[in-house]
Amino acid sequence: MDKKICIAIDAMGGENAPYKNIEGISLFCKKYKKKDDYFFNIFGDENKINVELKKYNIPDKYFRIFHTKSTVSDDETPLTAVKTSKNSSMWNCVYSQVKSESDISLSAGNTGVLLVISRMILKTINGVSKPALAGLWPNMNGMNIVLDLGANIECDEKNLIEFSEMGSALHKSLFPNEKPKVALLNVGSEEIKGTETIKKAHSRLKEIGKNGDFIFNGYIEGNKITEGFSNVIVTDGFTGNIALKTAEGTAKFITDNLKISLKENLLSKFSLLFSYFSLKKFKEKLDPRKFNGAIFLGLNGPVVKSHGSTDSIGFHHSIDLCYNIVKGNLMSQIKDNLSHLNDNQI
Amino acid sequence: MDKKICIAIDAMGGENAPYKNIEGISLFCKKYKKKDDYFFNIFGDENKINVELKKYNIPDKYFRIFHTKSTVSDDETPLTAVKTSKNSSMWNCVYSQVKSESDISLSAGNTGVLLVISRMILKTINGVSKPALAGLWPNMNGMNIVLDLGANIECDEKNLIEFSEMGSALHKSLFPNEKPKVALLNVGSEEIKGTETIKKAHSRLKEIGKNGDFIFNGYIEGNKITEGFSNVIVTDGFTGNIALKTAEGTAKFITDNLKISLKENLLSKFSLLFSYFSLKKFKEKLDPRKFNGAIFLGLNGPVVKSHGSTDSIGFHHSIDLCYNIVKGNLMSQIKDNLSHLNDNQI
């Protein structure tokens, strides 16, 4: 039998933990009930976790609990947490990768603290200047990888080039049948547009794209992200964070307005009877819980951050993401891509 | 009788010009048929313009045509245009403000060229370091002003502070019953978040906000732009351009998916019969043509840029925006706000 995919779960991170975390595990187990290739290392309050695991009848063979007394609070800042978070559920969850007990770590806890301690524990891959936070973003043909989503407020061209290679590796590991197509997020598609940093990155990526790790599509504007012509969207953490949140806010604004319109009179309410299944499918397709999970790339081990406020369905999608990242050999894909980059001497 | 509001129209700019431009004027005249306080200076090919004006029976008292032979092409770059655009319809349109023939200029032509020649002709207001491009962005309670949308790729804290004052002046002139509430677009709401530039701007705006031109709400994240708690959203031109276009792309992505869902089977198509008017109202409320028109702020005269690809309805909304900007005394509001800024010595 092949080695199982070992996912380390911080059961105490996020709103409504550990309840949604364990329910998320149960949803994952139900989905993959015919498979036997995964295992959970669960970190947190053993008593609470056990009660939940029993509630969902999750068989013993799928998990091991590592009791931890302390939890990283949402109010903790990355600075103080370096000292206080040691031996917390989050710390031990990530640390289990160093001990080779786990292949990947998942937490819905404090983002800043998770980034700092992941970096401390797992260390940055040799040759990578800055790790990045990558996310999933739907497009008309499938799924984009967008990075950086906020780990690095300021980036130089070397960072943007490394993000392109790491983002392509992530796309390849999750969607092996598609070719990664990289584009740099910019204010126009012409080569003269943008900052000096982005122009330098553009000129180097035109060369690097020839090594075959990805197709380089040049610049992309914000309104083209969802078109699907490119599927790895690269930007600095400031712009990426604002673009992602603006898209989330716009989606909510439109669907809120749609709800108001469809409930405003008897006739439109009546129409919901006939459009119920279509609207349900529409809602499901664009359900943000399906894209829950930001991936911290560039460390000697993958770490996934789930939205703190998501529910068990969202958390289960993050577990699914972890499973597919390990199955798709993300770490070796990244090392492979970065080795080509070194050949090219950025 | 009060002086009329004189709007200079570049009739030759944008797709399908001058047809949509003149039809836009006719739609505006229909809307304001009971008013007599406006006048158009129309720049472009006299013959073509005359044919269109007659088609819509627009009375002579509302316009004067200024014949120009040349037009700025979409392929022109700002660099070459400085020489070649002189005496084009766009140039003469903006120049009519220097001759005090017009109060405001509107063009749907080449954006880069319009920004460069407007700056050359009208000159930057004394004390303003960089003019900015501002736009309308709907929120749950009304309308935001967002700036800069791309005129300045890199900005320092002085620019961001001036944008706050000018954006507030624009908000006051368009929505006199609301208090401008400024927020700086950032990756988090805590004071420690963001770049050094944005932190410096934040600290100065906390002081400047006390002069009463606006309420300063601190930082805003991308997902809160549409909530309406703040209504003047300030950022650099790189981030603003990407945020705006990302919102446009997301809106299109969602409505495209909604259309597909509502037409996918007979039952859902049938539901459209009952929801037709509600969906129409929903579509109308969020129709991007209603927010058409970016305002170039910080020059000694206001210039509005319409989307090049909009139709006559979109162009008519830009004319309406011009009319309301002049009616709301934008220029004196800006000078008033900036004088407070000088008192504060940024």
Q: Is the pLDDT of residue A25 over 50?
A: yes
In Å, how far is A92's CA from the nearest CA of chain B?
A: 27
The lowest-confidence range among A185-199, A259-273, B6-20, B53-67 is: A259-273
pLDDT average, residue stretch B80-93: 90
In B, residues 166-185, which contact A (CB 8 Å cutoff)?
A: 185
Nearest to A222 among B237, B245, B286 (CB): B245
Nearest to B238 among A239, A256, A279 (CB): A239
The pLDDT, as a whole number, for residue A1 is: 47
pLDDT over 70, % of chain A: 95
**Phi and psi dihedrals of B221, rounded to 5?**
-95, 160
One-letter-per-residue 3-state SS of B79-138: HHHHHHCCCEHHHHHHHHHHCCCCCEEEECCCHHHHHHHHHHHHCECCCCCCCEEEEEEE
Best A250, A265, A282 residue to mutate vs chain B (most B CBs within 10 Å):
A250
The pLDDT, as a whole number, for residue A305 is: 97
The pLDDT, as a whole number, for residue B1 is: 47
User: Which residues in chain A are closer than 8 Å to B275, comparing Cβ atoms?
Assistant: 262, 267-268, 271-272, 275
* Kind of pairing between the strands at A215-220 and A181-185: parallel
Cβ of A195 within 8 Å of Cβ of B226? The answer is no
Q: Using 50, 70 and 90 to split pLDDT, how confident is the model at A235? A: very high
Q: Is the pLDDT of residue B286 over 90?
A: no
The pLDDT, as a whole number, for residue B344 is: 54
Best B245, B265, B287, B290 residue to mutate vs chain A (most A CBs within 10 Å):
B245
In Å, how far is B177's CA from the nearest CA of chain A?
A: 24
Cβ of B285 within 8 Å of Cβ of A257? The answer is yes
Nearest to A286 among B150, B235, B257 (CB): B257
User: Which residues in chain B are closer than 8 Å to A265, comparing Cβ atoms?
Assistant: 278
Q: Is the pLDDT of residue A225 over 80?
A: yes
Amino acid found at A289: R
Q: Using 50, 70 and 90 to split pLDDT, how confident is the model at B180? A: very high
Q: Is the pLDDT of residue B86 over 60?
A: yes
Q: Model's pTM, two decimal places?
A: 0.91
Cβ of A245 within 8 Å of Cβ of B221? The answer is yes
pLDDT average, residue stretch A127-143: 94
Cβ of A274 within 8 Å of Cβ of B268? The answer is yes
Question: Looking up tokens 């949509």, which residue turns up?
Answer: B20
**For A278-303, what is each residue's pLDDT tens digit?**
777 777 777 888 889 999 999 999 99
What DSSP letter does each residue of B269-297 carry, written as one string? HHHHHHHHHHHHHHHHHT-GGGG--EEEE
State chain A's mean pLDDT as an integer.
92
Residue of B nearest to A241 (CA): B187
In A, residues 30-59, which contact B (CB 8 Å cutoff)?
A: none
Cβ of B282 within 8 Å of Cβ of A261? The answer is yes
CB–CB of A239/A231 below 8 Å? no
Best B115, B246, B257 residue to mutate vs chain A (most A CBs within 10 Å):
B246
Output the six-digit token pair for B41: 């200076």
Is the minimum CB–CB distance between B79 and chain A shorter than 8 Å? no
Q: Is the pLDDT of residue B128 over 50?
A: yes
pLDDT average, residue stretch B168-184: 97
Which has more confidence, B78 or B90?
B90
In Å, how far is B181's CA from the nearest CA of chain A?
A: 19
In A, residues 284-343, which contact B (CB 8 Å cutoff)?
A: 285-286
In Å, how far is A62's CA from the nearest CA of chain B?
A: 38
In Å, how far is A345's CA from the nearest CA of chain B?
A: 29
Map out the domains of chain B with their CATH numbers. Answer: 1-122 (3.40.718.10), 132-291+329-346 (3.40.718.10)
Cβ of B150 within 8 Å of Cβ of A253? The answer is no
The pLDDT, as a whole number, for residue A6 is: 98
Which has more confidence, A272 or B297?
B297
Distance between alpha carbon A214 and the CA centroid of its chain, in Å?
20
User: Which residues in chain A are closer than 8 Å to B254, comparing Cβ atoms?
Assistant: 250-251, 254-255, 286
Q: Using 50, 70 and 90 to split pLDDT, how confident is the model at B193? A: confident
The lowest-confidence range among A181-190, A261-270, B244-253 is: A261-270
User: Which residues in chain A are closer than 8 Å to B244, comparing Cβ atoms?
Assistant: 222
Is the minimum CB–CB distance between A221 and chain B shorter than 8 Å? yes
pLDDT over 90, % of chain A: 76
Cβ of A246 within 8 Å of Cβ of B254? The answer is no
**For B139-160, what is each residue's pLDDT tens digit?**
999 999 999 999 999 999 999 9
Q: Is the pLDDT of residue A178 over 60?
A: yes
Helix (H, G, I), strand (E, B) or coil at B143: strand
Cβ of B226 within 8 Å of Cβ of A249? The answer is yes
User: Which residues in chain B are closer than 8 Å to A274, comparing Cβ atoms?
Assistant: 267-268, 270-271, 274
Compute the C-alpha angle B170/B173/B175, nearest 5°.
100
Complex-level ipTM: 0.89
**For B22-32, what is each residue's pLDDT tens digit?**
999 999 999 99
pLDDT average, residue stretch A127-148: 94
pLDDT over 70, % of chain B: 95
pLDDT average, residue stretch A168-182: 97
The pLDDT, as a whole number, for residue A341 is: 82
Q: Is the pLDDT of residue A272 over 80?
A: no
Best A139, A149, A223 residue to mutate vs chain B (most B CBs within 10 Å):
A223
Is the minimum CB–CB distance between B248 and chain A shorter than 8 Å? yes
Is the minimum CB–CB distance between B143 and chain A shorter than 8 Å? no
Q: Is the pLDDT of residue B267 over 90?
A: no
Closest to A295 measured CA to CA, from A107, A69, A41, A45: A107
The pLDDT, as a whole number, for residue A303 is: 98
User: Which residues in chain B are closer than 8 Å to A252, comparing Cβ atoms?
Assistant: 223, 226
Compute the C-alpha angle B66/B71/B77, nearest 5°.
140
What number of H helices and E strands is found in chain B?
A: 11, 11
- The C-alpha atoms of residue B114 and residue B12 are separated, in whole angstroms, by 13
pLDDT average, residue stretch A243-267: 85
Best B192, B198, B223, B230 residue to mutate vs chain A (most A CBs within 10 Å):
B223
User: Which residues in chain A are closer than 8 Å to B229, comparing Cβ atoms?
Assistant: none
**For A47-65, what is each residue's pLDDT tens digit?**
999 999 999 999 999 999 9
In Å, how far is A251's CA from the nearest CA of chain B?
A: 7
- Chain A / chain B CB contacts < 8 angstroms: 188
In Å, how far is A202's CA from the nearest CA of chain B?
A: 16
Q: Using 50, 70 and 90 to split pLDDT, how confident is the model at A342? A: low
User: Which residues in chain A are closer than 8 Å to B251, comparing Cβ atoms?
Assistant: 250, 254
State chain B's mean pLDDT as an integer.
92
User: Which residues in chain B are closer than 8 Å to A110, comparing Cβ atoms?
Assistant: none
The pLDDT, as a whole number, for residue B346 is: 52
